[in-house]
């Protein structure tokens, strides 16, 4: 009887820790979706083909290079994901991974363009939501919470699920911004 009681207490403690962990990383935060015009950011990026799980390392490496070699203060990293990993093989997934930069100095932009790819994100209508960014597990919460909720919202509002999803990791404001480009309304006829 004592061992059953100990096991139950241990299970309750583990459940409480997991519950607290999930709550801390935003798992219970209410998602508020809105459609609005956004974009137009200048990004330094690398085009990647392959497993999305490798993108974090590349994002960090690029951010470090820009800060150390060019003296840029990077507070927003960005991932633009073109393929649904449930529909496309891991080794064929396409993404642009990089950093948002705010530079008005044309000479510095020219210098960056010699070594990196630069572009502006499309300025268009997006479905947008945010969650707190408190570390790697916030990204996992996003994968398991934001993406299904976004899919449900698109379906309910008859919006096309075509088009890329952008994730902006804003370390200054401690949030992850999810933007789904609105391509067109879905035709159910």
146-173 confidence digits (pLDDT tens) = 999 999 999 999 888 888 999 999 999 9
Q: Are residues 20 and 54 in the same domain?
A: no
Measured distance CA(116)–CA(58) in Å, rounded: 13
Please check whether residue 62 is in contact with residue 46, taking contact to mean a CB–CB distance below 8 angstroms.
Answer: yes
Q: Are residues 94 and 143 in the same domain?
A: yes
Domains: count for the chain? 2
Q: What is the pLDDT of residue 136?
A: 81
- The pLDDT tens digits for 57-86 are 999 999 999 999 998 999 999 999 999 999
Q: Are residues 85 and 143 in the same domain?
A: yes
* Residue 6 maps to a domain: yes
User: Of 53, 52, 98, 102, which Cα lies nearest the Cα of 79?
Assistant: 98
Q: What is the pLDDT of residue 187?
A: 57
* Residue 187 maps to a domain: no
Average pLDDT over residues 91-119: 91
pTM of the entire predicted model: 0.86
Q: Are residues 39 and 10 in the same domain?
A: no
Give me the residue label for tokens 């990077």.
74
Calculated CA dihedral for residues 76, 77, 82, 87, nearest 10 degrees? -120
Q: What is the pLDDT of residue 1?
A: 65
| CATH number of the structural domain spanning residue 69 | 3.20.80.10
Going by pLDDT thresholds of 50, 70 and 90, the confidence category of residue 184 is low
Q: Are residues 100 and 69 in the same domain?
A: yes
Token pair of 172 as six digits: 């200054």
Q: Are residues 115 and 62 in the same domain?
A: yes
Q: Are residues 82 and 60 in the same domain?
A: yes
* Residue 110 maps to a domain: yes
Q: Are residues 167 and 74 in the same domain?
A: yes
* Residue 189 maps to a domain: no
User: Where do runs of H (alpha helix) occur along 25-105?
Assistant: 55-70
User: Which three-class secondary structure state does DSSP give residue 160?
Assistant: coil
Measured distance CA(96)–CA(47) in Å, rounded: 5
Q: Are residues 78 and 120 in the same domain?
A: yes
Q: Are residues 56 and 20 in the same domain?
A: no
* Residue 186 maps to a domain: no
Domain that holds residue 71: 34-181
* Residue 158 maps to a domain: yes
* Residue 169 maps to a domain: yes
Q: Are residues 79 and 1 in the same domain?
A: no
Q: Are residues 7 and 100 in the same domain?
A: no
Residue with more model confidence, 102 or 173: 173
- The pLDDT tens digits for 6-43 are 888 888 888 888 877 677 767 777 889 999 999 999 99
* Residue 16 maps to a domain: yes
């Amino acid at each position: 009887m004592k061992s059953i009681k100990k096991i139950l207490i241990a299970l309750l403690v583990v459940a409480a820790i997991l519950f607290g962990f999930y709550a801390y990383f935003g798992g219970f935060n209410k998602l508020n979706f809105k459609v609005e015009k956004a974009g137009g950011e200048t990004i330094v990026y690398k085009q990647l083909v392959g497993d999305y799980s490798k993108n974090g390392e590349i994002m960090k490496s690029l951010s470090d290079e820009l800060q150390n070699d060019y003296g840029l203060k990077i507070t927003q990293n960005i991932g633009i994901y073109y393929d649904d990993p449930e529909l496309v093989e891991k080794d064929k997934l396409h993404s642009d991974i990089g950093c948002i930069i705010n530079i008005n100095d044309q000479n510095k932009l020219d210098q960056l363009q010699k070594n990196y790819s630069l572009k502006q994100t499309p300025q268009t209508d997006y479905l947008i939501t945010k969650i707190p960014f408190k570390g790697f597990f916030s990204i996992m919460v996003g994968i398991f919470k934001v993406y299904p909720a976004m899919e449900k919202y698109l379906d309910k509002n008859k919006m096309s699920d075509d088009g890329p999803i952008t994730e902006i990791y804003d370390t200054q404001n401690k949030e992850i911004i999810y933007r789904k480009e609105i391509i067109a309304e879905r035709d159910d006829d």
